[in-house]
Amino acid sequence: MATESAQPKEQIVDPWTAKAGEGEKKINYDKLIVQFGSERIDESLLQRIETLSKKPAHHFLRRGIFFSHRDVPDILNAYEQNKPFFLYTGRGPSSESMHLGHLIPFLFTKYLQDVFDVPLVIQMTDDEKFMWRDLGLEEAHRLAYENAKDIIACGFDVNKTFIFSNLDYMSCCPSFYRNVLRIQKCVTCNQAKGIFGFQDTDSIGKMAFPAVQAAPSFSTTFPDIFGDNKDVRCLIPCAIDQDPYFRMTRDVAPRLGYHKPALLHSTFFPALQGPQSKMSASDPTSSIFLTDTPKEIEQKINKYAFSGGCDTKEEHEKHGGNTDADVSYQYLTFFMEDDERLAEIKKNYESGKLLTGQLKKELIGVLQKLVGDHQARRAEVTMDVVKQFMTPRPLNFKLSA
Ligand code: TRP
């Protein structure tokens, strides 16, 4: 686990750190595909997704925000033969308020649930945050429920979605713990050290945890939903930093007689300071929170959002802005759905016609609406609604058509 705060020599991407290498302005995602041994999402996979889902691909796919995958064609082949799959994603509840970057996997998962009409399980790793952070068990558990409200506010269908706190579900579902144990037996300490960088001074709880994140990849972890059916495949949308957990999972799956989970990986949501690191809740100046007011959003973007424009108006008009480095433009690629409008902004910014201040203003409007709408939806999510989502129960889907 790397913890150094300066820019490291080689880029570091693991579940705890995302930093570009020395002298690099950005995380190099092509290099990650090679290092991790995943596959790029190419045009033909995009088209296959569109054909099977009968909908245009989500702009996160079209714009390369979800850029890498493992075994997605297997999921699509099964789906084509009317065999359902399920979606699995999760969240480590370490802070009261989530930020914009935390929304990305959930917005994408919501799209997948809508177009494929499949069940979804969402793991809240309150146990993980207890083990890694300076957080008590009750506080971690409370945060799991608070964060669940934000997740529900993304619009998930209660009839197709099960959200669970590990602290709750591990103690009430025998099948979950059985899968955890099966996985733990397959992974040696040496392997865990190799995959996650654990040190001998780390607690044994950290060593044991990856099996808990792995287990929901297998349908038998959810007997209320799938009975004892081992054959329902799992697709995991997540940021690429979670891949180590699922490399481990995929390695043990065949030994347990389970399918390997498939994955869809996203890039990181850049920090306000620029795309060499990701937005992080522990640095408030790097983040726009889902609880920010319109005024705070405006001030943060104006003050902190790294600009790819030139220093003076004259220079900018002459040389144009760099959309690759410009955080405001990058954020628009995440949240401005209109392709034509985005292309126009890019053209005008690169030619120097659009100034940084104007670009920021555009972004501020988009984010104020996004965050405002989110807050309104979250206010409707009562504890009763949360409990509905978090009660183990059958979900609506056809096992075979
Ligand atoms: N470890 C993740 C985090 O800290 C939470 C998580 C659990 C997760 N299961 C997952 C993320 C599955 C993606 C997919 O945020």
Residue range 205-264, pLDDT digits in tens: 999 999 999 999 999 999 999 999 999 999 999 999 999 999 999 999 999 999 999 999
Cβ(286) – ligand 1 distance below 6 Å = no
In DSSP terms, which residues pair with 278 in a beta bridge?
270
Nearest Cα neighbor of 135 from 103, 100, 99, 167 is 167
Q: Could you tell me the two tokens for 51?
A: 């054909």
- Looking at every residue in the chain, the average pLDDT score rounds to 95
Of residues 281 and 197, which shows the higher confidence score? 197
Atom in ligand 1 nearest the alpha carbon of residue 238: 13
Among protein residues, the one whose CA lies closest to atom 6 of ligand 1: 90
Atom in ligand 1 nearest the alpha carbon of residue 237: 14
In angstroms, rounded to a whole number, what is the distance separating the alpha carbons of residues 221 and 229? Answer: 10
Among protein residues, the one whose CA lies closest to atom 7 of ligand 1: 90
Percent of the chain past pLDDT 70, that is, above it, reads: 98
Cα dihedral sign, 181-183-187-191? negative
Cβ(91) – ligand 1 distance below 6 Å = yes
If you average pLDDT over residues 105-119, what whole number do you get?
97
Among protein residues, the one whose CA lies closest to atom 3 of ligand 1: 92
CA of 352 to the centre of ligand 1 (A): 41
The tally of CA atoms less than 13 A away on the side-chain side of residue 291 is 10
Structural domains present in the chain: 12-271 (3.40.50.620), 281-379 (1.10.240.10)
Among protein residues, the one whose CA lies closest to atom 5 of ligand 1: 91
Cβ(238) – ligand 1 distance below 6 Å = yes
Q: Say yes or no to pLDDT of 401 above 70.
A: no
Cβ(123) – ligand 1 distance below 6 Å = yes
For residue 48, the SS3 value is helix
Q: Say yes or no to pLDDT of 344 above 70.
A: yes
What's the confidence (pLDDT) of residue 6? 66
If you average pLDDT over residues 190-202, what whole number do you get?
96
In angstroms, rounded to a whole number, what is the distance separating the alpha carbons of residues 243 and 222? Answer: 22
Cβ(210) – ligand 1 distance below 6 Å = no
CA of 266 to the centre of ligand 1 (A): 13
Distances (CA, A) of 356 to 298, 338, 360, 385: 14, 20, 6, 42
If you average pLDDT over residues 148-171, what whole number do you get?
98
CA of 130 to the centre of ligand 1 (A): 14
Cβ(213) – ligand 1 distance below 6 Å = yes
